[in-house]
Every structure is written in C-alpha cells, then in structure tokens.
Amino acid sequence: MTLQQKLLAKKSKKGFTLVELVVVIAILAILAAIAIPMVVNIIQSASNSSGASNASTLSQQCKNVYAGVKSGTINNDESTNSDGTAITWAAAKTATATAKQSAANGVTVAQVMTYSGLNFDISADYYYCTTADTGIAVGDIAYSDAGAAPTTPAGAAYAQLATTTTLGTIYP
C-alpha cells in the first residue's frame, strides 16, 4: 500500500474517538446536574403559587357564601350552583334570620366549591385560621406544602380544612 493510499484510507474513517464521546457525555452530565435542580425548584414554586392562589380564592368564596346565605341573597328559592343545579343547602328567601344563620353554619366547603365552580383538590395542604395574627384573620384559608399547618405568622393557629368542614366551624 502506498503512502497516498494510506492517507486516503485514514481520511475515509469517520466517527468519534472514545475520548471525544467521554468529553461530550461529561459536559451533558454537568449541564444536567445544573439544570435538574433548577427545574425542580421552578415546578415547586409554581405548585406553591397555585396552591396559595387556590386558597385565597376559596377563602373569598367561603366568606361570600357565608354572608350570602345569612342575608338570604343565596337561597333555596332562586339560587343555583355554577353547574345550574338548584341549591338545597341554604334557607328559603323568606326564612327567619335564625334559620338563615343556621343554614349558613351548615354549608360545607364542598358545597361552596360546587356553588362557585372551583375544581381543585383540597387534600392535606389546606388549612383555615383559628387564631388571628398580623395579616391573617380567623377563617382565612391558607396553603402549606410542608405536610403541616403553616407556621407564619407566628401567633396564628390553624386547623386542617376538609371538604366536609362547615362554614360554622370556619367562622365561629
């Protein structure tokens, strides 16, 4: 084989050497080690924001429904759920103030969610305030993904929220 043939044979070999492949894999591993924690943090942050937003919306809807049933503006005679079905958990429009108060106390969080059209899971991450402190009132609903009640503000106390929790329990 002549020198020219050897050079042509060498040129025709294509591909990467083992060292080149190892370098590329090492670079990809470094990039993944940097990117994965960032993506996890972004996902966690989005989940916390969504949970806090849902808690705020649910808190406001509970207050609105509680006040509406007590005043009679939400009643069994005229009001419907967001899906168009009739409400059966409020008092009649002409009921006494005592009957309206009793009905308001008996409304559950699940009924508020159906009435308001809210559709999210309030599993173990939602709590309602039982002792007020700066920035939070009794009955306000908060979100915590820590597996326990929120710890801020320091003087506030919380109880676990469930779909069966009544508004009379939230607003004593």
What's residue 13's pLDDT?
Answer: 63
Tell me the β-bridge partners of 157: 131
- The answer to whether 109 touches 161, Cβ cutoff 8 Å, is yes
> Is residue 11's pLDDT more than 80?
no
Q: Taking the model in full, what pTM does it have?
A: 0.75
Would you say residue 44 lies in a domain? Answer: no
> Is residue 4's pLDDT more than 80?
no
Domain range for 128: 56-170
- The answer to whether 89 touches 106, Cβ cutoff 8 Å, is yes
Closest CA to 157 of 139, 135, 132: 132
Position 2, amino acid: T
Would you say residue 8 lies in a domain? Answer: no
Would you say residue 4 lies in a domain? Answer: no
What's residue 15's pLDDT?
Answer: 79
What's residue 14's pLDDT?
Answer: 72
**pLDDT 10s digits, 101-137:** 999 999 999 999 999 999 998 888 999 999 999 999 9
**pLDDT 10s digits, 14-67:** 778 899 999 999 999 999 999 998 888 888 878 778 888 999 999 999 999 999
Would you say residue 75 lies in a domain? Answer: yes
Would you say residue 118 lies in a domain? Answer: yes
The Cα 56–Cα 132 span in angstroms is 16
Would you say residue 16 lies in a domain? Answer: no
DSSP for 47-84, please give it.
HHHHHHHHHHHHHHHHHHHHHHHHHTSS-TTT-B-TTS
- In the chain, the number of structural domains is 1
- The answer to whether 133 touches 155, Cβ cutoff 8 Å, is yes
